[in-house]
Amino acid sequence: MEYSAAHYLIVIMRHLLALSALCFSLSGTAQTIYYVSLNGNDHNSGIYQGLPVTLYAALSKAEDGDTICIAQGHYYVNADRGSWEVTKSLTIIGGYSGSFSVQDNLHGNASTVLHGRTTANTDGANKRVMNIAGSEDHPISVTIENLTMTDGNGYKDRPTIIAGAVKAGGCGGGLFNYHAETVLRNVIISNNWASDNSDNGYGGGIFNAAATLTITGNSVIQNNNASKGTGAGYGGGIYNSAESVLNVDNSFIQSNKAVSNPRNPEAGYGGGLLNGRQGFVMLNAGTVIKDNSATVGTGEGVGGGIMNDDGLMHLSGVHIDGNIGINNRSSIASGGCGGIYNEKGMLDWDDSENVIKDNIGNTGSRIEEAVDHIYNPNDYAAYCIVVLFDADHVTSNRGAGSHLFKIGNTFTLTLTPEEHLKKVQPTVTSGDRDAIATFVDDSMGIYQYSLLITGNATVQIHFNERSVTLSALPQGVSMTTGQPGKYFVAVGSTFRFTLKIENSYKNSLLVVIANDNILYPVETYTDDNTYQYSLVINYNTDIQIRMSSCTITLADPPKGIVSMLPPPGEYIVTADSRFDFALKTEDKFKNIVPIVTTGGNTVTQTGGDGMFYYSIRVVEDAIVQVIGLDYHTVTIPSPPEGISINPLPGSYYVPFGTTFDFVLTASDDTYNIHEFANSVLMANGDVLQPLPDSENGVYRYSREITESTAIQFNQNFHMVTLPERVSEGVSVSPQPGNYFLPVGSPFEFTLTMGGKFSSVSPSVSANNDVLLPSDRENNVFTYTLPPTYDHVLVQISANYHTVTLSNLPRSISASLQAGDYIVPDGGNFIFTLRPDEIFRAASLTVTTDRGLLYPVKSDDETYTVIVSDVTKDMTLIPALHYEVTIHPASQVSININSGKYNVLPGSDFSFMLKSNRQPADAPSVTVNGDLLNLYPVGNGGWHTAVLSNIRQNIEIRILPWSDTSSPLLSGNAVKIYSRGGRLLVIESPAGETPVTVCTLTGRIKAQRKVTGTESITLPAGIYIVKAGTEARKIAIN
């Protein structure tokens, strides 16, 4: 039955939807790792490396999303437990060491081997290696990496989980993939078969049903057989059926057979791969289908490499090579197809990317109807054969042999010659046609060719080259590209090479001879030592390289020579050429010409001012020597301050009989130096006169040198220095600087104290001796230096201190504003304060860094503050306060000391007290004669006294008890006391008084009105008694 392209698209979409549902369902699944090794058992947990399990146990314990790691070794299917069954979404990885160390690299895919059961015997039935099975409602996702599946036999192996998909006979000797999306990465499926009986066999290595299978990562499907018995065979390597999807990339399907019994008369279909029943196959880049056979028996062989019977198949970048339809020389069966057999399905392929070559339809006796490469009646395009012949010294992207192409497509060929021929472009021809058009990449030595296919063609590769031999290089010469030796280049091409001469040989003559003819450079590089040569090659060519030179030796120069250019040493110079060199002398010898000889002859120099140039003609080896320098010494001393000299002080070397010039300059702040310039300098004791053009403090001198000469300064003047930096507020006239004066001359200057410093006297010293002013007018001080000083350094400073008057409270006004005031060292600071009218009774103090000051109050209610002998910076803080005086009594405890306390106006003053008498009694407090109410605190007999908003001086007196007999109490005051400690007595001489007696907890024990004296009987205890405005705490025994 044939299907449309739309039908195949529906099949593909069905698989993609199932896969997307599977991926969605696996998000957030478990991530447990189970460890399997040869010494594992079913009782261990398997989740620790040291407690491994069997593969059966790991597959049972694992959940969706888990990973199973298998140690290297050989594992065998148990006859009773059957094939290993994967029914969950898992990742299975082989090749681990026994310790499962994460630092160890995985061993190869042949290190972990899973064995099926190839033969049924007394121990049990034959078994395939592994079943991977989900369900239509719950497909699974499985990844298998880095292991081998072998020795499986799928004949009648039909466990329940795949029963709905198994064909009669045998299916999938190595792997059965059902309702799963499975990836095989770096996996070997080898030496398995689907059937070894008379029943048909399907998929010797793999049977893929209602599933998606991806084979990648250099996986190998090899040496598998669909039918090893006498039944027909379908898909020796892989059987893809039941609307399944198969993706293969970078993997091998090789040496598989659909029918492997030489005496089997049944047909074999798809030696490497069979795609049927609406399956979909993608064979991608890097896929190799090679050396497979549809049958080696006596029956029909259909599709040695691939059979696409009823499915959809796409090929891209696939290598289909050496496959055979009927691989039996004794066979008399007709027909046969070696490469691809496509009858009912759809085949899509791109021959510009695929290689289909050297396939054979039939090796038997009836080859007339055989098809070697492709049988595709659905494609009406004509096919033809391109035969590529082998060639020496070159590799190709296509191997030699027969290649199948559609007419109208393009045959491409990429050639890489061996190293020695990389510069020779191969010539590629097709039959009697001209050379194929080429694209050449010279930098890589890779050549690409293309040929439009119009019919059968033969392609041959030729080289047309000549040899170029470069001789050994002479000393001092190197090649910047390549090296001496033999090269092969195409006839008519250009051979180029570059020679570089070492710096020490750069003046040598380089001679290049090609086949006895001089070869001149075509280009000289910018460094003048590198030369490029170019030669068109039509014959075998021999190139000789030679040099012609002499040796010049520059001897080490004597002292006084700073440098020799080039430096001392041996130099290779072209014969009969000039050799140039230069000498640089020290600055002090810059006018001395060095004497140079070679071969006994003096060499003439050019240049001067310390740089001298020489040139000699070289006809033989020579030694150049510098004999020395001939000069006199001129010594210049350091000048006095304020005078500079050019050249700088030091020793200078001058040729015999020449003139030595120098300049003396007086600085801008010098004084009258020009009056002494005529006698300031001497040479060897002789006075030097400045030249007539000297002016404005610049004096020029010239002296003919006939002997070594010493210049001296005749110092008939002295210098006064006014300092640049002086104290703040001090200005100096004249301005600071150095002043030169004739010996015996006085020097006068003034200091002006400005602004807030006008009251401060400066401190002046000359050479650390105190200098007093010669005159003073207000804040201007005049000083005069006597003529007896030599060089004089003046020091200037001002001694003062800062007094800071802080911000005043609103209740006080002052004669000065708050701020900083300058006071001379040891001076006085005076100001007045006046408190507001309402605070006239308050006292006034000033807090200083020395302590408290108590200003003197005048009759006009002002206070005069005098801070005398100010010797440091300080801060003054005025403040008003009232005096609180506490007069203590005996037998009373107070929490503060008695005495006087200063209290700010309007503030509060409080303290605590208690009577020490027995029985306990409340003390009394009077303030300026008035009784103050006290408040009990707790049960310890303590009371609190509080004075609020103090606006006057306070006198506080304290008595140890409340007593109406006290002369301080009014005669009408209510008295509260106990009689004998047993009765409460209330005396109310002023009339009726309300009385309330409470316990300490606040419970009322008695409440009445009392006139006169009345006793109240109470139980033993402590009570609070309130009578009128009086309150006391009373103890009753």
Question: Do 264 and 375 belong to one domain?
Answer: yes
Q: Which of 405, 430, 463 represents a domain boundary (last residue)?
A: 463
Collapsed DSSP state (helix, strand, coil) of residue 588: helix
d(CA 139, CA 441): 51
Q: Which of 380, 397, 417 represents a domain boundary (last residue)?
A: 380
Classify the phi-psi angles of 401: left when phi > 0, otherwise alpha if psi is within -120 to 50, otherwise beta.
left
Q: Look at residue 434 in the predicted model and tell me its pLDDT.
A: 58
| CATH number of the domain that residue 999 is part of | 2.60.40.3080
Q: Which of 662, 689, 715 represents a domain boundary (last residue)?
A: 715
Domain count of the fold of the chain: 8
pLDDT digits (tens, 9 = 90+) for 47-77: 999 999 999 999 999 999 999 999 999 999 9
Please say whether the dihedral angle defined by the alpha carbons of residues 174, 176, 180 and 181, taken in this order, is positive or negative: positive
Which residues span the domain enclosing 596? 550-628
**Contact in structure between 484 and 471 (CB atoms under 8 Å):** yes
Question: Do 223 and 235 belong to one domain?
Answer: yes
Q: Look at residue 109 in the predicted model and tell me its pLDDT.
A: 85
Give, as one character, the DSSP assignment of residue 60.
H
d(CA 989, CA 1015): 14
Question: Do 144 and 258 belong to one domain?
Answer: yes
d(CA 679, CA 670): 17
Question: Do 787 and 818 belong to one domain?
Answer: no
Give, as one character, the DSSP assignment of residue 12.
H
Question: Do 642 and 734 belong to one domain?
Answer: no
H or E element in which residue 22 lies = helix 5-25
Cβ-proximal residues to 1022 (8 Å cutoff; 6+ apart), any chain: 939, 999, 1000, 1033, 1034, 1035, 1036
d(CA 652, CA 639): 16
State how far the alpha carbon of 1024 is from the alpha carbons of 490, 931, 936, 1021, in Å: 133, 19, 10, 10
Q: Look at residue 290 in the predicted model and tell me its pLDDT.
A: 97
* b/e burial code for range 23-49 (CB count within 10 A of at least 16 → b): eeeeeeeeeebbbbbeebeeebebbeb
* b/e burial code for range 470-493 (CB count within 10 A of at least 16 → b): beeebebbeeeeeeeeebbbbeeb
State how far the alpha carbon of 807 is from the alpha carbons of 397, 812, 835, 845, 870, in Å: 99, 10, 14, 14, 21
d(CA 228, CA 295): 10
**Cβ-based neighbour number of residue 11 at 10 Å:** 20
6 CB-side CA count, 13 A: 0
Give, as one character, the DSSP assignment of residue 20.
H
Residue 348: both structure tokens together: 């899509």
Residue located via tokens 């994967």: 86
Dump strand ranges (E) for 217-259.
220-222, 225-227, 233-234, 238-241, 245-248, 252-254, 257-259
Collapsed DSSP state (helix, strand, coil) of residue 103: coil
H or E element in which residue 624 lies = strand 622-628
d(CA 792, CA 785): 9
Closest by Cα among 93, 104, 98 to 66: 93
Residue 93: both structure tokens together: 């990885």
Question: Do 700 and 792 belong to one domain?
Answer: no
For 582-675, where are the alpha helices, taking DSSP H only? none
Residue 351: both structure tokens together: 């021959």
**Contact in structure between 175 and 205 (CB atoms under 8 Å):** yes
Q: Within the chain, which residues score under 70 in pLDDT?
A: 1-30, 102-104, 121-124, 168-169, 350-353, 379-383, 402, 432-444, 507, 524, 526, 667-680, 714-718, 740-744, 788-790, 917-921, 960-972, 980-981, 1000-1002
Q: Look at residue 940 in the predicted model and tell me its pLDDT.
A: 78
**Contact in structure between 588 and 650 (CB atoms under 8 Å):** yes
Q: Is residue 865 part of a domain?
A: yes
Give CA 1025 to chain center in angstroms.
Answer: 84
Question: Do 376 and 447 belong to one domain?
Answer: no
**Cβ-based neighbour number of residue 82 at 10 Å:** 17
Question: Do 400 and 490 belong to one domain?
Answer: no
d(CA 54, CA 951): 100
Q: Look at residue 23 in the predicted model and tell me its pLDDT.
A: 44
User: Residue 184 forms beta bridges with which residues?
Assistant: 144, 215
**Cβ-based neighbour number of residue 116 at 10 Å:** 26
Q: Is residue 81 part of a domain?
A: no
Question: Do 623 and 638 belong to one domain?
Answer: no
Q: pTM for the complete prediction?
A: 0.48
Q: Look at residue 869 in the predicted model and tell me its pLDDT.
A: 85
d(CA 205, CA 256): 9
Dump strand ranges (E) for 151-179.
170-171, 175-178
Q: CA angle, 603 as apex, 601 and 608 as ends, to 5°?
A: 155
Residue 598: both structure tokens together: 């070679």
Residue 518: both structure tokens together: 């001089």
d(CA 524, CA 878): 96
Dump strand ranges (E) for 734-770.
737-742, 747-753, 762-766, 769-770
d(CA 571, CA 554): 8
Cβ-proximal residues to 229 (8 Å cutoff; 6+ apart), any chain: 195, 196, 197, 198, 199, 201, 261, 264
d(CA 228, CA 249): 28
Cβ-proximal residues to 559 (8 Å cutoff; 6+ apart), any chain: none
| CATH number of the domain that residue 724 is part of | 2.60.40
* b/e burial code for range 701-710 (CB count within 10 A of at least 16 → b): bebebeeebe
* b/e burial code for range 327-351 (CB count within 10 A of at least 16 → b): bbeebebebbbbbbbbbebbbebeb
Q: Is residue 896 part of a domain?
A: no
Radius of gyration of the chain (CA): 61
Residue 512: both structure tokens together: 């290049």
Write phi, then psi, for 785 (nearest 5 degrees).
-85, 130
Q: Look at residue 9 in the predicted model and tell me its pLDDT.
A: 45
User: Residue 820 forms beta bridges with which residues?
Assistant: 804
Write phi, then psi, for 674 (nearest 5 degrees).
-65, -25
Residue located via tokens 């549902």: 21
User: Residue 997 forms beta bridges with which residues?
Assistant: 1006, 1025
Give, as one character, the DSSP assignment of residue 675.
G
Q: CA angle, 587 as apex, 586 and 593 as ends, to 5°?
A: 70
Question: Do 681 and 559 belong to one domain?
Answer: no
**Contact in structure between 1026 and 992 (CB atoms under 8 Å):** no
**Cβ-based neighbour number of residue 523 at 10 Å:** 11
Q: Is residue 890 part of a domain?
A: no
Q: Is residue 956 part of a domain?
A: no
d(CA 291, CA 254): 6
State how far the alpha carbon of 882 is from the alpha carbons of 242, 864, 888, 908, in Å: 113, 19, 19, 11
Give, as one character, the DSSP assignment of residue 54.
-
Write phi, then psi, for 640 (nearest 5 degrees).
-65, 165
Question: Do 709 and 836 belong to one domain?
Answer: no
How are beta strands 91-96 and 698-704 bridged, if at all?
unpaired
Question: Do 172 and 217 belong to one domain?
Answer: yes
Residue 588: both structure tokens together: 């002090």
**Contact in structure between 463 and 427 (CB atoms under 8 Å):** yes
